[in-house]
Amino acid sequence: MSDTKICPVCNKAMKLKEAGYPMGSALLKADRVHVDIYTCENCGKVELFEAKSDLVKCPVCGTMHSAKEACAICALNKGLDAANH
Ligand SMILES: [Zn+2]
Ligand SMILES: [Zn+2]
């Protein structure tokens, strides 16, 4: 397992609690940061890592976004198109 995260406090393997969690979505509408949240069951340490696993590239505009969500750029463009026609 190359993706094992080790607790910096007690050097035990950390457990993946949440993958691809959207951080700051309430504050930043477009620039979301997706993180993998790891916790150490031994000491309770929580560590965040940038999520790379479930990012997909939009075939329309090329924007990288979470596979769990629709492309925000295309949604925005659709809204602009609807306003123009
Ligand atoms: Zn620990
Ligand atoms: Zn797109």
Cβ < 5 A residues, ion ligand 2: 58, 60-61, 63, 71, 73-74
Q: What separation in Å is there between the alpha carbon of 39 and the centre of ligand 1?
A: 8
Tokens encoding 46: 């929580």
Average pLDDT for the chain: 83
Question: How far, in Å, CA of 22 to CA of 37, rounded?
Answer: 10
Nearest residue to 24 via CA among 14, 34, 15, 16: 34
Question: How far, in Å, CA of 18 to CA of 6, rounded?
Answer: 16
The pLDDT score that the predictor gives to residue 26 is 57
The stretches in the chain having pLDDT less than 70 are 1-2, 24-32, 52-54, 85
Q: CB of 45 within 8 A of CB of 30? A: no
The pLDDT score that the predictor gives to residue 1 is 45
Q: What separation in Å is there between the alpha carbon of 4 and the centre of ligand 1?
A: 13
